[in-house]
Amino acid sequence: MSAVIAGLGITEMGKVYGRTAPEFAADAVRLAAADAGLTVSDIDGLLTNTGISGDVGLNLQRDLGLRDLRLLSEVQAYGSSAGAMVQYAAMAVESGMVDVVACVFADAPLKDPSSGAGAAYAGAGRRPAGWQGLAAASGIYSANTMYALATRRHMRTYGTTSEQLGHIAVAQRAWAAKNPLAQMRDPITLADHQNSRWIAEPLHLLDCCLVSNGGVAVIVTSADRAADLPQPAVHILGWGQAHPGYVMGPGSELGLVSGAAISGPTALKMAGVTIADIDVVELYDCYTFTVLLSLEDYGFCAKGEGGPFVAGGALGSLAVNTGGGQLSSYYMWGMTPLSEAVIQARGQGGERQVPRHDLVLVSGNGGLLDHHSTLILSPNPR
3 state SS of 104: strand
Q: According to CATH, what is the number of the domain 142-209+234-382?
A: 3.40.47.10
Q: Is the dihedral of CA 40, 31, 375, 72 positive or negative?
A: negative
Catalytic pick among 78, 88, 298, 331: 331
Residue 150 CB burial class (10 angstroms; 0-12, 13-18, ≥19): buried
Q: Which amino acid, one-letter code, is at 314?
A: A
What whole-number percentage of the chain has pLDDT above 70? 93
Read off the pLDDT of residues 270-308 as tens digits, 9 standing for 90 and up: 999 999 999 999 999 999 999 999 999 999 999 999 999
Measuring CA to CA, which residue among 141, 146, 145, 153 is closest to residue 200?
Answer: 145
Tell me what the pLDDT averaged over the chain comes to.
94
| Residues whose CB falls within 8 Å of the CB of residue 315, separated by 6 or more in sequence, listed in order | 167, 168, 171
Query: Quick check: 131 pLDDT over 80?
Result: no
Angle between the N-to-C axes of helices 288-298 and 143-158, in degrees from 0 to 180, rounded to the nearest 10: 50
Read off the pLDDT of residues 31-84 as tens digits, 9 standing for 90 and up: 999 999 999 999 999 999 988 888 999 999 999 999 999 999 999 999 999 999
Tell me which of 48-57, 73-82, 156-165, 359-368 is least confident.
Answer: 48-57
Distance of CA 305 to the CA centre of its chain: 23
pLDDT reported for residue 113: 86
Catalytic pick among 78, 147, 284, 287: 284
Residue 47 contacts residue 102 (beta carbons within 8 Å): yes
Tell me the H-state helices in 142-232: 143-158, 162-176, 190-195, 223-226
Query: Quick check: 122 pLDDT over 50?
Result: no
Give residue 132's pLDDT band: very low, low, confident or very high (50, 70, 90): low
Beta strands in the chain (DSSP E): 3-10, 45-49, 71-75, 100-107, 198-200, 203-204, 214-222, 234-242, 280-282, 319-320, 360-366, 371-378
Residues of the chain with CATH 3.40.47.10: 3-110+211-226, 142-209+234-382
Q: Which amino acid, one-letter code, is at 270?
A: M
3 state SS of 159: coil
Query: Quick check: 124 pLDDT over 60?
Result: no
C-alpha 280/C-alpha 81 separation (Å) is: 21
Average pLDDT, integer, range 323-347: 98
Give residue 138's pLDDT band: very low, low, confident or very high (50, 70, 90): low
Q: Is 141 a catalytic residue?
A: no
C-alpha distances (whole Å) from 65 to each of 26, 46, 82, 97, 181 are: 10, 12, 23, 21, 29
Q: Which amino acid, one-letter code, is at 192?
A: D
pLDDT reported for residue 139: 63
Query: Quick check: 334 pLDDT over 90?
Result: yes
Q: Give the largest CA-CA distance in the chain.
A: 59
Q: Is 287 a catalytic residue?
A: no
Query: Quick check: 123 pLDDT over 50?
Result: no
* Structural class in CATH, domain 3-110+211-226: alpha beta
- CB hemisphere CA count around 89 (13 angstroms): 35
